[in-house]
């Protein structure tokens, strides 16, 4: 008798070599293999074994053993570099959409089982609780596990992230989870790259404090535009002396401490190829000397540039 396949909306594909091992495979091993051919269970799930176990009503450990059976037979292999990149991109899309909780969640019973099975993870949760200053609930604990299981962060790295956030006064899991997602998105997935990131953050914070003091900004929150300006100034390498020069010339020209005016000036220095505050002073002295001889003076240039910028904003508004 010849049978007709009714494929429906999806087709499950398997290597022909599977036939060789079917007589020796158990029922669960065959079911697991069929489940793995579905994108929902193999490609989209953060933990395929857990998802398949839930679907089949089986023990997760038994499903992991079933997967190991097919790996041992050469039916399942390690993901290629392209597959890993695609998986990472998929994770980033899920994270960007804020959907991670829908794809990764534990009941209290499941969570306790995971922690009992992996003592080091339980120790990590305890250490994170101490750093944050409270006992983590099920939802918060899942956030920590998510960093390891989904992002692939090492436990020591997770502890560094939590310690850093707690040290800056951001000792809540909502903030920590958001920061971890951002780090993963940027490709900062280990202690070394995180150390470089935090070093840069500290440098910018230190430079920002200099600008705040010099321009009498106080403690108010900087706008995104101001943050961008200050980060750019820091990258130019003029340091505190450069900020002082910019402040003095800004106040002399406008009568007030204007960040936009100073930004126009500092960008001009950068465009002129000036590398440090000493070169800035030499450039300014030269400009002033030329200005006295009838050339287009630097102050006039900046005043005109600022006026054009302000008129443009008024037109756009």
How far apart are the C-alpha atoms of 218 and 210, rounded to whole Å? Answer: 11
Q: Please give the structure tokens belonging to residue 248.
A: 């003095």
Please give the pLDDT value at position 92. 45
Sequential pLDDT tens for the chain (317 residues): 677 778 776 777 888 899 999 999 999 999 999 988 875 555 555 567 877 887 788 888 899 899 989 988 888 876 555 555 545 544 444 444 444 544 456 677 777 888 888 888 889 999 999 999 999 888 888 889 888 888 889 999 999 999 999 998 998 898 999 999 899 988 899 999 999 988 888 888 899 999 999 999 988 888 999 999 999 999 898 999 999 999 999 999 889 999 999 999 999 899 988 889 998 888 888 766 565 443 334 555 555 545 555 555 455 55
How far apart are the C-alpha atoms of 52 and 44, rounded to whole Å? Answer: 12
How far apart are the C-alpha atoms of 218 and 262, rounded to whole Å? Answer: 17
CA dihedral sign, ordered 275, 278, 284, 286: negative
How far apart are the C-alpha atoms of 283 and 274, rounded to whole Å? Answer: 8
Domain residue spans in the chain? 16-77, 102-189, 199-316
Please give the pLDDT value at position 298. 52
Please give the pLDDT value at position 50. 77
Q: Please give the structure tokens belonging to residue 247.
A: 């402040």
How far apart are the C-alpha atoms of 215 and 222, rounded to whole Å? Answer: 12
């Amino acid at each position: 008798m010849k049978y007709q396949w009714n494929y429906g909306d999806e087709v499950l594909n398997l290597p022909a070599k599977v036939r060789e091992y079917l007589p020796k495979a158990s029922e669960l091993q065959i079911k697991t293999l069929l489940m793995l051919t579905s994108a929902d269970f193999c490609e989209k799930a953060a933990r395929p074994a857990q998802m398949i176990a839930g679907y089949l009503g089986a023990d997760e450990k038994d499903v992991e053993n079933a997967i190991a059976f097919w790996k041992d037979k050469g039916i399942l292999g390690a993901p290629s570099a392209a597959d890993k990149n695609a998986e990472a991109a998929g994770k980033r899309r899920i994270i960007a959409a804020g959907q991670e909780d829908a794809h990764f969640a534990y009941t209290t019973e499941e969570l306790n089982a995971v922690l009992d099975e992996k003592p080091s993870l339980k120790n990590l949760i305890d250490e994170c609780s101490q750093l944050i200053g409270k006992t983590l609930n099920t939802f918060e604990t899942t956030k920590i596990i998510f960093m390891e299981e989904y992002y692939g962060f090492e436990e020591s790295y997770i502890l560094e992230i939590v310690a850093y956030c707690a040290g800056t006064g951001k000792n809540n899991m909502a903030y920590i989870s958001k920061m971890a997602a951002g780090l993963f998105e940027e490709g900062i997935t280990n202690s070394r790259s995180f150390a470089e990131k935090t070093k840069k953050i500290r440098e910018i914070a230190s430079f920002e404090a200099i600008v705040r003091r010099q321009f009498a900004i106080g403690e108010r929150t900087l706008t995104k535009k101001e943050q961008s300006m200050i980060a750019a100034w820091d990258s130019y390498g003029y340091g505190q002396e450069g900020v002082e020069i910019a402040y003095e010339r800004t106040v002399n020209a406008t009568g007030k401490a204007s960040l936009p005016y100073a930004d126009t000036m500092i960008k001009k220095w950068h465009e002129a190829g000036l590398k440090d505050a000493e070169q800035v002073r030499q450039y300014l002295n030269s400009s002033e000397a030329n200005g006295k001889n009838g050339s287009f003076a630097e102050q006039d240039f900046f005043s005109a540039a600022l006026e054009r910028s302000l008129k443009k904003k008024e037109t756009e508004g």
